[in-house]
Chains A and B, each alone.
Chain A
Amino acid sequence: MTDLLSLAGVHTHVGRYHILQGIDFGVAEGQTTMLLGRNGAGKTSTLRTIMGLWQASAGQISLDGQRIERSATPDIARLGVGYVPESMAVFSDLSVKENLVLAARDGPLDDARLDWIFGFFPALRRFWLSRAGALSGGQKQMLSIARAIVEPRKLLLIDEPTKGLAPAIVVALIECLAEIKRRGATILMVEQNFHAAQELGDTVLVMDNGKIVHRGEMALLALDVALQERLLGLSLETHQ
């Protein structure tokens, strides 16, 4: 299995803070890689660095054989990376439709693909012309994910999609992500909800203090409660 994305010795500084302290990992093509770790471990920073929103101060990042650690964010996106940020970042002043029109940068919206997306997220069809700012938190998350998949992308970076959502919505969201995964997507996903991580992840990376402290099969970590507690500590119970 080849790695679609790989990071080698990546460091990131923000101002005078040394946030990522030498990150190495690969994301295998067609697989879902879970990035876990307690709050402040550096998970979001890792995704931001891959996306070029923060520039790595050292190390190499390759996507599909191409070096991207010096590339600008729009160029990285155009290599086929879809990003669902922790804040969702829907454009609240724009309608649901307009949000997706912008996300479809290679051409007009594809009806068949929209129907596929509406299959997971019927609310988006219903509120097609409504301001995105008026959507509920769960609906905004759906829109944010829809934006990332409105055209086929090589790699999806998804940051805590279930955060702050009602349990029923979380269940539906997991179903949707599982379907996206079945379609062969390559996903790097941050998740605090261990249940969701367990459902979706093939492999798992655990971060702490800006470093990767564990890597392995998701299924193995799911079986090893002691390891979970050692690596993830309290964050598990509070986010169960």
Chain B
Amino acid sequence: MTELAAAGALPKPKRDILPVLLPVILALAMAPLIGSGSSWVTLTVASLAMGMMIFIMASGLTLVFGLMDVLNFGHGAFIAVGAYVATLVLLPLAPYVQADSLLTNLAVLAPAALLSMAVSGALGLVVERVLILPVYGQHLKQILMTTGGLIVAEQALYALWGPQIIPLPLPTSLRGSFIIGDIAIAKYRLLAMLVGLVVFAGIQLVLNRTKIGLLIRAGVENREMVEALGYRIRRLFLGVFMVGSGLAGLGGVMWALYREQVHASMGNDLTVLVFIVVIIGGLGSIGGCFIGALLVAMVANYGGFLVPKLALVSNILLMVAILMWRPRGLYAVTSR
């Protein structure tokens, strides 16, 4: 037994912080190019806010893939459904949305967001049981089923709400900016950042401090072994799928308010975006997803400012660059 004791000191676990530094480096590198300090602050805040919203939308997708290898090309449907459901609350209660009181605004915004999450989460339950359960382990069929699901959802939204764009004005107290010197910081962007941070912290807390979270992390690495320890991973997966769908719904509400409009095509558009984020981050990694979302948003904002023509391809370029550096994404999840 002495040999075991003499096994020597453990190599200090290397924390891979390079990806974490990436957004910081990018932001600092952009400062001289952008020139004006106030523009840089505005763009950086816009990037952070947009990044947080994208993270909220993408977080469920990365865990769903990490845990069960499920490719859900219909994730955007939960985003769009979330946005539409919010209009059910926010449009009839427009007077409260227009009232110039933060408390009144939040009193309608919060239930709208919760309802959206609940409906998207419930839809997640149905989708998992009906579309995904029958095609576990078959990627091609998953892509076909979920892409089909997205088309059906989009058409259903058109049928229910019509093809027109629905305006969704920001609540009055969230309009405008805080002005500090010559720097303007949009209030809604601050709120979006705050919500994004809360969601990120919440996910980290669950993943690191609860047994369910440990099971999710263990399952992402080796689901067979989680089952061999006696845990029913399918049930765990269903829970993750529902929470991920609910978060996508929340992201949808936030995105719709950010754009101040709702349209059924947003599901489709955002599916591409969140997939890029999830791939950049490393399929299955929440931390990678967070950084990936920030990077995508930064490239969109800084890039849009500096080289507007690049906007259409900037995400793809970013993805290619990251994958050339790290072929499995920023944080490759082990044993996959």
Contact = CB atoms under 8 A, between A and B. Distances in A.
Nearest to B334: A92
Interface string A57-100: 00000000000000011100110000101000101111000110
Given A93-B221, A101-B211, A73 B228 contact: yes
A73 B227 contact: yes
A127 B5 CA distance: 11
A89 B4 contact: no
B45 interface: no
Given A102-B211, A142-B4, A77 B228 contact: yes
A166 to B, nearest CB: 8
B225 A89 contact: yes
A136 B334 CA distance: 16
Contacts of A101: 211, 214
Contact of B224 (A89, A105, A122, A138): A89
A155 B287 CA distance: 39
Contacts of A202: none
A105 B230 CA distance: 8
B1 interface: yes
Interface string B264-290: 000000000000000000000000000
Q: Which of B7, B215, B227 has the most CB of A within 10 A?
A: B7
Contacts of B231: 74, 102, 105
Contacts of B229: 77, 102-103, 105, 147
B4 A134 contact: no
Sort chain A's interface into a size bin.
Answer: 35 or more
A169 B3 contact: yes
Q: Which of A72, A74, A83, A103 has the most CB of B within 10 A?
A: A74
B11 interface: yes
Contacts of B214: 94, 98, 101-102
B324 interface: no
Contact of A123 (B5, B13, B225, B233): B5
A96 to B, nearest CB: 10
B155 interface: no
B232 interface: yes
Contacts of B215: 102
A139 interface: yes
A131 interface: yes
A130 interface: yes
Contact of B221 (A91, A103, A171): A91
Sort chain B's interface into a size bin.
Answer: 20 to 34
Given A74-B230, A89-B222, A175-B1, A94 B7 contact: no
B10 interface: yes
A14 B214 CA distance: 31
A239 to B, nearest CB: 20
B263 interface: no
Given A102-B215, A147-B229, A53 B224 contact: yes
A134 B225 CA distance: 19
A51 B3 CA distance: 32
Contact of A134 (B13, B222, B227, B230): B13
A121 interface: yes
A168 interface: yes
A53 B228 contact: yes
Interface in B1-40: 1, 3-5, 7, 10-11, 13
Contacts of A25: none
Contacts of A122: 1, 4-5
Nearest to A133: B334
A135 B225 contact: no
A175 B1 CA distance: 8
Contacts of B228: 51, 53, 73, 77, 83, 85, 89
Nearest to A124: B4
Contact of B232 (A74, A91, A99, A139): A74
Interface in B173-231: 211, 214-215, 217-218, 220-222, 224-231
Given A74-B227, A94-B214, A172 B232 contact: no
Q: Which of A94, A127, A138, A147 has the most CB of B within 10 A?
A: A94
Contact of A139 (B7, B13, B220): B7
Nearest to A83: B228
B218 A94 contact: yes
Contacts of A51: 228
Contact of B222 (A78, A91, A127, A139): A91
Interface of A: 51, 53, 72-74, 77-78, 83, 85, 89, 91-94, 98-99, 101-103, 105, 119-123, 126-127, 130-131, 133-136, 138-139, 142, 147, 168-169, 171-172, 175-176
Given A102-B226, A136-B7, 19 more contacts: A73-B224, A74-B232, A78-B230, A89-B222, A91-B217, A91-B222, A93-B220, A94-B218, A98-B214, A105-B230, A120-B4, A122-B1, A130-B13, A135-B10, A139-B7, A147-B229, A169-B3, A175-B1, A176-B1
19 contacts: A72-B227, A74-B233, A77-B227, A77-B228, A89-B228, A91-B225, A92-B335, A93-B217, A93-B220, A94-B217, A102-B214, A102-B215, A102-B229, A120-B1, A120-B4, A133-B13, A134-B11, A142-B4, A172-B3
